[in-house]
Chain A
Amino acid sequence: MSTTPAADRAGAVKAVTRNRLFWPAAVLAVLLVANLAFTPDFFAVRLQGGHLYGSLIDILHFGAPLILVSLGMTLVIATGGIDLSVGSTVAIAGALACLHISESTDPGGLGTVLTALGIALGAAVLLGAVNGLLVARAGVQPIIATLILMVAGRGVAQLITDGQIITVTSDPYKLIGGGYWLTVPFAVLLAAAVVLAAVLLTRSTALGLLLESVGGNPVASRLVGIRATRLIALVYVFSALCAALAGLMVSSNVSAADGNNAGLWIELDAILAVVLGGTSLNGGRFSIGGTVLGALIIQTLATTVYTIGVPPETTLVFKAFVVIAVCLVQSPVFRAKLAARGSRVRRTTDRPYVAAPTDREVGA
């Protein structure tokens, strides 16, 4: 069987566009290129004083906390859940770490900083476990279970900082969010390491498969003997850990903990990043690579809006349309309607494949 080169090329194009990462990557590329119009040296990266500088580096640097939070959110969403409490966790983690360092006699000591990290991450495990138990054990809807911590967590963070902004001067701590290592911002390396670890954790163990199974069809998953309770509790703990790391980064970058504003609305950006990355809010298949792209899109958008001089707050308007557009594209009903309209107009037999609702009952 032989095919023409043209058909081959068409097939190759199709294969590329069908790839799950194609659309988020394309959007990111368009956004980046669009920036050239406003900032001709947008892609320039220069080395200065042993540190890399440039818009691209900034996007990675400032996007690192969002990437982390979105990463945890991805696994939660894969199980069909949602975690609204990550913003509060960001604030609590930063507050705990900064409090410990500021009260220490040796704020610059490595031991102090490591203890601070331990405290923050330990607290995150606790918070994640509360969410996980409420969802997996008590069977509370995820959006509601995590709403509790979303509300109370901010108060707890302010309680820890006593309503103040705790500033710290600690070089080891500063490294996490604001420092450089091998010319690259340490935060970028840390985020990359965690993302890599998550990919390894989910894809070279069976965790990813089992999570997708639980999110994709909980009933069938029970019947093949998957222990969903533990897995679900686990992802909420992981999500909290990611959020805590992000919290450490944010507070380290500004050398201060602000219980009120740290991580404010980051849960919404994280959900958006996950959805942009092609993971469905209904659970099932997830894509960590897609999520990273989604987070970078959001960060690039923020950078773009900032550089073209529009008030940064108006990014919200863009986000609104993006959320609706992505959700519509993911909605089987919308796709079915679109396909029906398309075929009515075109009157062709060549109908695109539409994921039809699978629960249609026939006969009986």
Chain B
Amino acid sequence: MNVHALTARLRGQIPLLVTAVLLVSMFGVGSVQYDGFFSGQVVLNLLIDNAFLLVVAVGMTFVVLTGGIDLSVGAVVALSTMVSAWLVERHGWPPLLVIPLVLLMGTAGGWLMGWIIHVFEIQPFIVTLAGMFLARGLCYTISIESISITDPQYTAMAQTRIPLGSLFVSPSALIALLVVAAGFVVLHHTRLGRNVYALGGSEQSALLMGLPVQRTRTTVYAISGFCSALGGVLLTFYMLSGYGLHAVGLELDAIAAVVIGGTLLTGGSGYLLGTLLGVLVLGLIQTVISFQGTLSSWWTRIVIGALLFVFIVLQRLITGRRR
């Protein structure tokens, strides 16, 4: 019985272990193959370059854990960059007002989608698809063109380097890590977090156990909306522009990171730290390909697709046996 329980517990963590091994071996192979690969800065750059993806993936983890999916994240990121750039540049609003406003917008949008999904029992993917259309469309009603940002506070955020010994990170990377930490605490140490897992495990049970299913679901999409908006803010720092074509396909990267991080797409099982590993794997793939030099960027997509395939089949094997 105890052996059985132990194997069951381990089985749930196979994808996570695979990801960890993958990450370490990719880094190992990269270090052996390429000069200058084995450095702390390469690792930190992974965080700096993928800060916005990390934040978005944290929100996606919440949604996927409930068994849902949020296709609107990329579009919400783009809309956030657009609204920020537009208000700051065209209307001269102070960033300290614009940023909270953008975050509020994202949260409210997510909440609304969650509400529609729950109350009208419509599939999450179609509702968030509509959210995606809406957010992208709204970008273009603001402007078809990219709006670049010259505001000193934004450029400061873009250029600031926080020294870490001889290395450095960007403020965005720190914010992203902070979000991961906050997400971890919420998911693993609060009632909300545990309700998220319960909902993903069995909605019917959650309902009968008297858990606040509707509140949990709307909150989860609101969190995803918030994270997307924050990801948009970070991307604005990174790109110093707002553009309707920013973050195209980001939802796929975020979903891939979550899956590679060992979260079951059917919900109920997964870890936030796994998502961190997943984002690092995605970043590392790009780093390796850029170090290689002869490989073209599209290999990133193909490798991510292949990883997705492996992990989804792996998940299927694991959950299939559990039944």
Direct interface between A and B, CB < 8 A: yes
Residue ID in chain B nearest A315 by CB atoms: B137
Known: A163-B297, A313-B244, A314-B140. A151 touches B126 (CB 8 A): no
Question: Which residues on the B side are within 8 Å of A158 (C-beta)?
Answer: 296, 298, 301
A32 touches B (CB below 8 Å): no
Contact with A along B65-83 (1 / 0, CB 8 A): 0000100000000000000
Residue ID in chain A nearest B313 by CB atoms: A138
Chain A residues 152 to 186 lying within 8 A of chain B, measured CB to CB, are: 152-156, 158-159, 162-163
- The segment from B30-38, B116-124, B154-162, B199-207 found at the interface with A is B116-124
Question: Which residues on the A side are within 8 Å of B125 (C-beta)?
Answer: 82, 143
Chain A residues 306 to 344 lying within 8 A of chain B, measured CB to CB, are: 311, 313-321, 323-324, 327-328, 331-334
Say which size band chain B's interface belongs to. Answer: 35 or more
Known: A144-B265, A163-B298, A327-B126. A268 touches B320 (CB 8 A): no
Chain B residues 110 to 156 lying within 8 A of chain A, measured CB to CB, are: 116, 119-123, 125-127, 129-134, 136-141, 144
- The one of B119, B121, B134, B312 that contacts A148, using a Cβ cutoff of 8 Å: B312
Rounded to whole Å, the gap between the CB of A146 and the closest CB of chain B is: 11
- C-alpha gap A161/B301 in the complex (Å): 14
Which of A143, A152, A162, A268 counts the most chain B CB atoms within 10 A?
A: A152
B56 touches A (CB below 8 Å): no
Question: Which residues on the B side are within 8 Å of A154 (C-beta)?
Answer: 298, 301
Q: Are A140 and B305 in contact (CB under 8 A)?
A: no
A259 touches B (CB below 8 Å): yes
Q: Are B255 and A155 in contact (CB under 8 A)?
A: no
A190 touches B (CB below 8 Å): no
A244 touches B (CB below 8 Å): no
B306 touches A (CB below 8 Å): yes
- The one of A139, A317, A319 that contacts B141, using a Cβ cutoff of 8 Å: A317
- C-alpha gap A316/B244 in the complex (Å): 12
Known: A141-B265, A151-B305. A327 touches B122 (CB 8 A): yes
Residue ID in chain A nearest B144 by CB atoms: A311
- The one of A139, A145, A316 that contacts B136, using a Cβ cutoff of 8 Å: A316
B304 touches A (CB below 8 Å): yes
- The one of A150, A317, A324, A332 that contacts B138, using a Cβ cutoff of 8 Å: A317
Residue ID in chain A nearest B72 by CB atoms: A320
A281 touches B (CB below 8 Å): yes
- C-alpha gap A153/B303 in the complex (Å): 11
Residue ID in chain B nearest A282 by CB atoms: B123
- C-alpha gap A44/B301 in the complex (Å): 46
Say which size band chain A's interface belongs to. Answer: 35 or more
Which of A159, A316, A333 counts the most chain B CB atoms within 10 A?
A: A316
Chain B residues 212 to 267 lying within 8 A of chain A, measured CB to CB, are: 244, 252, 255-256, 265-266
Residue ID in chain B nearest A312 by CB atoms: B140
Q: Are A316 and B127 in contact (CB under 8 A)?
A: no
- The one of A271, A281, A333 that contacts B119, using a Cβ cutoff of 8 Å: A333
Contact with B along A250-281 (1 / 0, CB 8 A): 00000000010000000010010001000001
Known: A154-B298, A155-B298, A268-B129. A333 touches B256 (CB 8 A): no
- The one of A145, A149, A281, A317 that contacts B123, using a Cβ cutoff of 8 Å: A281
Rounded to whole Å, the gap between the CB of A327 and the closest CB of chain B is: 5
- C-alpha gap A333/B127 in the complex (Å): 15
- C-alpha gap A150/B122 in the complex (Å): 23
Q: Are B69 and A143 in contact (CB under 8 A)?
A: yes
Rounded to whole Å, the gap between the CB of B218 and the closest CB of chain A is: 16
Rounded to whole Å, the gap between the CB of B300 and the closest CB of chain A is: 7
Question: Which residues on the B side are within 8 Å of A259 (C-beta)?
Answer: 298
Residue ID in chain B nearest A153 by CB atoms: B305
Q: Are B120 and A333 in contact (CB under 8 A)?
A: yes
B93 touches A (CB below 8 Å): no
Question: Which residues on the A side are within 8 Å of B139 (C-beta)?
Answer: 313
A302 touches B (CB below 8 Å): no
Q: Are B301 and A323 in contact (CB under 8 A)?
A: no
Chain A residues 118 to 152 lying within 8 A of chain B, measured CB to CB, are: 134, 138-141, 143-145, 147-152
- C-alpha gap A268/B136 in the complex (Å): 13
Known: A151-B308, A316-B137. A159 touches B302 (CB 8 A): yes
Q: Are B302 and A155 in contact (CB under 8 A)?
A: yes
- C-alpha gap A286/B119 in the complex (Å): 26
Question: Which residues on the A side are within 8 Å of B119 (C-beta)?
Answer: 333
Question: Which residues on the A side are within 8 Å of B126 (C-beta)?
Answer: 271, 275, 281, 323, 327
Rounded to whole Å, the gap between the CB of B69 and the closest CB of chain A is: 7
- C-alpha gap A324/B309 in the complex (Å): 31
Q: Are A159 and B298 in contact (CB under 8 A)?
A: yes
B188 touches A (CB below 8 Å): no
B191 touches A (CB below 8 Å): no
Q: Are A316 and B302 in contact (CB under 8 A)?
A: no
- C-alpha gap A281/B303 in the complex (Å): 31
Known: A152-B305, A155-B302. A328 touches B122 (CB 8 A): yes
- Sample 7 A-B pairs with CB under 8 A, ordered by A number: A148-B312, A155-B302, A159-B299, A163-B298, A317-B133, A327-B120, A331-B122
Binding site for A on B (CB under 8 A): 69, 116, 119-123, 125-127, 129-134, 136-141, 144, 244, 252, 255-256, 265-266, 296-306, 308-309, 312-313, 316, 320
With A271-B126, A324-B127, A333-B119 known, 17 other A-B pairs at CB within 8 A are: A138-B316, A144-B265, A147-B255, A149-B305, A151-B301, A151-B305, A155-B301, A155-B302, A275-B126, A281-B126, A313-B136, A314-B141, A316-B140, A323-B130, A328-B120, A328-B122, A333-B121
Closest 6 CB pairs of A and B: A152-B305, A155-B301, A316-B137, A317-B137, A320-B134, A158-B298
